[in-house]
Structure 1
Amino acid sequence: MKSLALMKGILCFTIALFCTNAYSEIYPDRAIRLIVAFSPGGTSDTIARLLAERMAKKLGQPVVVENHTGANGIVGTQDARAAPADGYTILLVPSGHAINSTLNPAANYDPIEDFTMISLIGTVPMVVTANPNLGAKNIAELIEKAKHSSEKIDYGSGGIGSSNELATELFATMTGIKTLNHIPYRGDAPGIADLLGDHISFIFLNVPAALPLVKDGKLNALGITSAKRSPLLPDLPTIDETVPGYVAGSWHIVIGPRGIPQDRAALLSKTIADIVHSPDFSKKLASMGIDGVGSTPEALQEFLRAEIEKWKKVIHDAHITM
């Protein structure tokens, strides 16, 4: 009888252990943190909150957005990198992720090797947005004016090493312009104010920021940085139509700490891709001037590697330093 009772006890323990192990393999079985490396209200935060809401419905668990700000995204990126690689902490970052490691010594991490690739959400083209007093109505006229100007032409950006500074420097390099003078701001908003006040001549602005200013007739749109024209500004030529091969813009990706199990990363990637490709979310992104992608982890790694090399060359060629 004692042996029978012992066997029953062992059997019950084994079953309980099996059930516990099986339960622990269910993913996700609790809330996921989605760290955003920038402050609330910006484009990154807006995308993250739209994404989190839909991810929660698909995964059956809350997806909680946390804003970890500072150092052009480096603080939030470092926080995510230090989190457990269990798939319960992921990170949404914009294109500065491909720039910081080259430009800023504080970014003491490898933007690819120290992270698990999940998905490229979408790309955001920029509009060359100019004050009417510049006297240029298109990219060809801007190039002509800049090359023959006896004075420097001031352009703004969201800060040293920002995506719109680098996009402008790439433009200057490809066209041979030497007369541009960079005026960095703490974000695009004060730069836009100075652009409207005619204190600077132009800024490369993300479509969502440029669109209302252009449509209200306050500023001129000279060209767009994407490979194809935007449906939001169908009559606006691409820079590539005047400067062959020119393509630039910002983007947003989701990554996680290095070492997230492949099956969990794959589930997250597929979930995000399905959301990005859904009609309602795709339409929402398009209304913000964002071209939805929803990539695989492998495609994201290839894309990110190319972006890092592209902007590293621009930083070196333009001698950009913090």
Structure 2
Amino acid sequence: MISSNGAGAVSRPRGRLSRRSLLGAAAFGLAAPAILRSGPAFAAYPDRPLRIVVANSPGGPSDIIARIVAAAMQERMGGTVFVENKGGGGSNIGMGLVARAEPDGTTILLATSAYVVNPSLYDTLPYDPFKDFSPICELATSPNVFAVKPDLGVSTMKEFVALAKQNPAKFNVSTPPVGTTPQLEAEVLKVREGLSGMATIVFAGGGEALQALLGGTVQLSSGVLAPAHPYIKSGTIKGLAVTGERRWHDLPDIPTMAEAGFPDFVFETYTALLAPAGTSPEFVRKLETETLAILAKPETREKLMRTGFEVQARTGKQHMERVAREVPMFRDIITKAGIKVKS
């Protein structure tokens, strides 16, 4: 649980710096050169099954997009593609697992914004965001959404804040893991609006955080739009505001946070594919080409849009440009909000 001053009381893996941090992989987006090492000969997908590791629990936004991409990739390229969820540790467990995986073309990571946030939250990480991975491509982004149950009796973010201020200790907000953009935005909201007494309940994944709202455990949910989207459309929950730069195309009645009276409040969650550093550059380029082709299909774009994602379809190099830009950006946000993760 996050304490009232934004500090966390969650455990974190005491991993060492990745052993690949000394391998000299090219930083800022260039696929790392193949590295001679002991182990089986390189035999990449589709000759062998491809595992897409999602560093969050099933049912959340990253899991949804991983399964959409995995199915499309298998259909386009043949072979077998499967998704494996490795949640926990603020996504560090799954990211560290792929950072240490054999770079043999059988394991890749579906990363979220935690990839660029965690370097500022944790003193020790099991991965280096610039050295331990070869970027494949960026997939899509999704705005986040603040949502409540209709029976709470509020219709806007301003109304919720006013209600919560009457007795903050009676209110809870659920979020995905520490370091995700929904968790960060919840803490920023609390700091800005004087709601330090409202507890943040952190879950292993976005699906579980949303279930807490549906089950009445919390009064406010801060999460990625994708898993909340069908519940908002059905009226089961009420979206108070989205945190993107513009309103979502099929939820025109939900304002942005800026429109709701909260300026400079843009938080989005992105997703990207990365391979362990040392993976064959030819294999990385092939996956980049094939995945970008999948994302260019109107049916894929429509499917992702229906589940709350907006396709970005950026190259691996462009993704690493984002990494270089957002690592310091989130460091500044975390510092100003006074968010710390304590062991």
Common fold by TM > 0.5: yes
Q: How does 1:204-215 map to 2 (within 5 A)?
A: 204-215=222-233
Equivalent residues of 2:99, 2:276 under 8 A apart: yes
Q: Which residue of 1 aligns with 2:330?
A: 311
Aligned sequence identity (%): 26
Equivalent residues of 2:145, 2:223 under 8 A apart: yes
From 104, 107, 115, the equivalent of 2:133 is 115
* Structure 2 counterpart SS, 1:83: coil
Q: Which residue of 2 aligns with 1:181?
A: 198
Aligned mates of 2:207, 2:80 — CA distance in 1: 33
1:302 aligns with 2:312: no
Q: Which residue of 2 aligns with 1:19?
A: none
Equivalent residues of 2:92, 2:126 under 8 A apart: no
1:278 aligns with 2:297: yes
TM-score, with normalisation over the residues of structure 2? 0.74
Aligned mates of 1:220, 1:183 — CA distance in 2: 19
Equivalent residues of 2:90, 2:179 under 8 A apart: no
Higher relative contact order (CA 8 A, sep 6+): 2
From 222, 231, 246, the equivalent of 2:249 is 231
Q: Name the aligned partner's letter for residue 277 of structure 1.
A: A
Q: Which residue of 2 aligns with 1:17?
A: none
1:52 aligns with 2:70: yes
Shift of 1:204: 1.3
Equivalent residues of 1:118, 1:265 under 8 A apart: yes
More helix by share: 1
Q: Name the aligned partner's letter for residue 183 of structure 1.
A: T
Aligned mates of 1:178, 1:92 — CA distance in 2: 34
Q: Name the aligned partner's letter for residue 76 of structure 2.
A: K
1:246 aligns with 2:265: yes
TM-score, with normalisation over the residues of structure 1? 0.78
From 91, 109, 121, the equivalent of 1:103 is 121
Q: Name the aligned partner's letter for residue 128 of structure 1.
A: F
1:34 aligns with 2:56: no
* Structure 2 counterpart SS, 1:293: strand
Equivalent residues of 1:161, 1:320 under 8 A apart: no
Equivalent residues of 1:157, 1:183 under 8 A apart: yes
Go from structure 1 to structure 2 and tell me whether the alpha carbon gap of 1:281 and 1:194 turns closer, same or farther (over 3 Å shift): closer
Q: Which residue of 2 aligns with 1:257?
A: 276
Shift of 1:219: 3.1
Aligned mates of 2:234, 2:127 — CA distance in 1: 43
Aligned mates of 2:331, 2:234 — CA distance in 1: 36
Q: How does 1:27-176 map to 2 (within 5 A)?
A: 30-36=47-53, 37-105=55-123, 107-132=125-150, 135-143=153-161, 149=166, 151-152=168-169, 153-173=171-191, 175-176=192-193
* Structure 2 counterpart SS, 1:289: coil
Q: Which residue of 2 aligns with 1:203?
A: 221
Aligned mates of 1:65, 1:217 — CA distance in 2: 31
Q: Name the aligned partner's letter for residue 78 of structure 1.
A: G
Aligned mates of 1:53, 1:255 — CA distance in 2: 18
Go from structure 1 to structure 2 and tell me whether the alpha carbon gap of 1:222 and 1:296 turns closer, same or farther (over 3 Å shift): same
From 229, 237, 242, the equivalent of 1:219 is 237
Shift of 1:35: 2.9
29-38 or 275-284: which moved more? 29-38
Q: Name the aligned partner's letter for residue 121 of structure 1.
A: L
Go from structure 1 to structure 2 and tell me whether the alpha carbon gap of 1:279 and 1:194 turns closer, same or farther (over 3 Å shift): closer
Equivalent residues of 2:172, 2:201 under 8 A apart: no
Shift of 1:236: 1.1
Compute the RMSD of aligned alpha carbons. Answer: 3.0
* Structure 1 counterpart SS, 2:226: helix
Aligned mates of 1:25, 1:89 — CA distance in 2: 12
Aligned mates of 1:53, 1:159 — CA distance in 2: 26
Aligned mates of 1:280, 1:305 — CA distance in 2: 32
